[in-house]
Structure 1
Amino acid sequence: MTTVIPERTAVRAGRIPTVVRLLVLATFVVILNETIMMNALPRLMGSLRITEQAAQWVSTAFMLTMAAVIPVTGWFLHRVSTRRAYGTAMAVFVVGTAVAAAAPTFGVLLIGRVVQASGTAVMMPLLMTTLMSVVPEQDRGRVMGTVTLSMSVAPALGPAVSGLILQFGSWRLLFVVVLPIAAVVGVLGLRKVENVGEPEISAIDWPSVVLAALGFGGLVYGLSLFGGIGGMAGLGGGFVLGGVVAIAIFVARQRKLQRGGAPLLDLRVFRHRTFSLSLVLLTVGFLAMLGSMILLPLYLQNLRALSALQTGLLVMPGGLAMGLLGPAVGKVFDRFGAGPLVLPGAAGTVLALAGLAQVSPTMPYWQVLGLHTLLMVSLAATFTPVFTLGLGALPPHLYSHGSSMLGTLQQVAAAFGTALVVTVMSARARQLVADGVAAVPAQISGMRLAFGVAAALALLTVFVAMKLPRRTVAG
């Protein structure tokens, strides 16, 4: 997709283009479904008579599909118009939601989730690419703050939203509620969204598609097995190794195809230092966010005996604060640059995770709420400027490839974060139980160590933040 902006699509400084508003709304709806099933697993297990290991696949299959499909979106967005990409993504998502809502068996439910994820995988890069094409550079921070609502807050709010909906019915209600909303957003978008740029006809390299699916999909699946239940670490290690090998072959093939100008995923984005640094910071940030999202419900429900609804309400203020602060953070970035935001945000992330590493059976709930809110606010201060700096450092013809790379590694980070914290927690708890420690203190100790490891990793973001420029440096 080129970045020649039609006269009707060009916007005045200070205004958010209609096309971006609609894409933000649509992306929020579809990304919300990535985590919306987390609180529904017990209901799902009882309704379809499946094990906990099988039930985890409703989330694993979604992440797996996203990781496999997103690398193809760079090519897809170059080849089709904005309206066609939008219409295709929303139609696929609506079909997947309908299949999941009516699924008579667990197998059909998984098919619905895979179809849902295929549509979601297109929306994220489409939103980012369109934003970079139509928004003037001086307004990108403010508009990117709005985008934070869909890219980061939606998965954070998923468990809270599902906790509320599940009070009124079965797990199917999660899809029944989303279905008409997605359909209306899709139809409205097709009426209002205008094309940005002109499609470029190009052939697709099918071996690259297969390698991307095997590599990124295998890596995410292997990491998910590390975080699973039932001693699947050995099998997970095999899939991770196979995924890494496939990704290595994929990278070699893309480097070869770049000489002909038609790679599936253009790796020349890594020649731009600011983009590479931003990618590292965002990946570690998503790892920390998803790691805390899996640990906190385990702590609050398994060790503090809160219900799914109570857990959702406790973590909801943090997600809401993240979304509400997005536009304000963007305005600060537009005026002062990344300096007052990224480094304090990275430091706040470390402090919040270090605070959560002190969890205990009696930690006051207000303290848990405060630490989680600090984490979400700190990530909000980080994500918006770093997204803007990273993509802004690329030339326009690499926008779609850069956003695809960000989306792909976001899924890998989500799987890695989940696998890491659960593996660390479980290993520590098992060791202490074997040494004669009671189950609850052993689990608490495991959670403390897991949060501590996440905090140690988050320290990397502080060092990366020091190296980022205050403003976009293209090239």
Structure 2
Amino acid sequence: MRIFRTRGFTAPLLVMLVIALNGFGTLIVLPLVLTDVTGLSTFTLGLFLVPGGAVISIVSALGGRVYDRFGPRPLVIPGAIIWTATFWLLAQADEGTSGWTILAIYLVMTGAQALMWGPMTTAALAALPDHLHPHGSAAFGTVQQLAGAAGGAVLISAYTIGANAPDAGALNVAASVSASQTAFATAGVLAIGAILGTLFVGKAPAPHRASPSPMPGTDSIQP
């Protein structure tokens, strides 16, 4: 439990909890929206999600250089604001919204998420002494898995409530629009927590180094 006493670790961990919760939940809800609202086929849906990986790779590479020079705050605070805004934009989507518009919003979302993911992980582990790094890494992995599972449950629950369907049958377009808007509005509210969390993330701490051991036979030498 010692890792949770360090604010430099706990704040990024809580931000990552929100990121994982919304990120994994969106990957479940977004395909439902694309098929039920915009009418994309399964094959087109698969192609739709491919560019997100490329955006994450590019943004992560460029963000690493910024992090090394300026620390996490110039990346994570704008990233959290943009990321939150994309959920509210998706919450406005309806049957008149084109697939290209949703694709553009999705790519901005993945890019903003990449601005936060790497810096949050690096900043959190850098705040811990070397001997606590394994515990911090394990905590990060556990939190992401639990938050991912919870995110799917939360957003699918919001999607179901928003549909307001009398039975569990296939939804019509109007019900699908209402469901998706409710789900993404819920994600937008949760994402505000990420913005607040990034405000407590400080500059990248100096790496912890073990104190050098004295040379043999010099313990009694005084300056």
Q: Which TM-score band applies after superposition, normalised by the shorter structure? A: 0.7 to 0.9
CA distance in 1, matches of 2:21, 2:172: 27
The structure 2 residue matched to 1:379, chosen from 113, 132, 156, is 113
Q: Give the counterpart letter for 1:281 in structure 2.
A: V
Cα displacement string for residues 274-323 of structure 1 (whole angstroms, at most 9, x for unaligned residues): 11001100110111111111111111123333222211211221221012
Q: Post-superposition shift, 1:413?
A: 0.8
| Residue 393 to residue 471, structure 1, CA distance change in 2 (3 Å) | same
**Does the 8 A contact of 1:274 with 1:468 survive in 2?**
yes
Superimposed CA distance per residue, residues 64-103 of structure 1 (whole angstroms, 9 cap, x where no aligned partner): xxxxxxxxxxxxxxxxxxxxxxxxxxxxxxxxxxxxxxxx
1:322 to 52, 56, 73: 56
Determine the C-alpha separation between the residues in 1 that align with 2:51 and 2:105: 11
Does structure 1 conserve the Cα–Cα contact (< 8 Å) formed by 2:93 and 2:177? yes
CA contact (8 A) 2:79 2:116 kept: yes
Whether 1:470 and 2:203 are equivalent positions in the alignment is yes
Alignment of 1:447 onto 2:180: yes
Please say if 1:406 is aligned against 2:140. Answer: yes
Aligned position for 1:352: 86
- Any idea what SS the aligned residue of 1:448 has? helix
1:288 matches 2:25: no
Any conservation in 2 of the 1:426–1:443 contact (CA below 8 Å)?
no
Provide, for residues 177-215 of structure 1, a one-character-per-residue CA deviation record: whole Å limited to 9, x for no partner: xxxxxxxxxxxxxxxxxxxxxxxxxxxxxxxxxxxxxxx
Quote the sequence identity (%): 33
- Which string of whole-angstrom CA distances, capped at 9 and with x for unpartnered residues, describes residues 101-125 of structure 1? xxxxxxxxxxxxxxxxxxxxxxxxx
CA deviations on 1:216-274 (whole Å, 9 max, x unpaired) are xxxxxxxxxxxxxxxxxxxxxxxxxxxxxxxxxxxxxxxxxxxxxxxxxxx21101111
Please give the residue correspondences for 1:263-278 in structure 2 after superposition, counting only pairs within 5 Å: 267-278=1-12
- Matched with 1:4 is none
Q: Hey, which of these two has a bigger chunk of helix by percent? A: 1
1:356/1:371 contact within 8 Å kept: yes
2:34 aligned residue: 300
Work out whether 1:428 is the aligned partner of 2:162.
yes
Q: Which has the higher contact order (CA 8 A, sep 6+)?
A: 2
SS of the aligned residue for 2:199 comes to helix
Q: Using the alignment, how far apart are the partners of 1:319 and 1:351 within structure 2?
A: 20
| Alignment of 1:309 onto 2:58 | no
Q: CA deviation at 1:474?
A: 6.6
Give the aligned residue type for 1:293.
L
Q: What secondary structure is seen at the aligned counterpart in 1 of 2:97?
A: coil
Match of 1:457 in 2: 190
Tell me the residue number matched to 1:368: 102
TM-score, with structure 1 as normaliser: 0.42
After superposition, residues 14-29 of structure 1 pair within 5 angstroms as none
Q: Is the 8 A contact 1:300 1:306 kept in 2?
A: yes
For residue 220 of structure 1, what is the aligned residue in structure 2?
none
Deviation at 1:473, TM superposition (A): 5.9
**Residue segments in structure 2 that go unaligned for 5+ positions in a row:** 209-223
Hey, what does 2:219 align to over in structure 1? none
Give TM-score scaled by structure 2 length. Answer: 0.87
CA contact (8 A) 1:352 1:375 kept: yes
Shift of 1:467: 1.1
SS at match of 1:279: helix
Gaps of 5+ in 1: 1-266
Q: 1: CA distance between counterparts of 2:89 and 2:205?
A: 33
Aligned length: 205
> 2:72, 2:119 within 8 Å by CA — same for their partners in 1?
yes
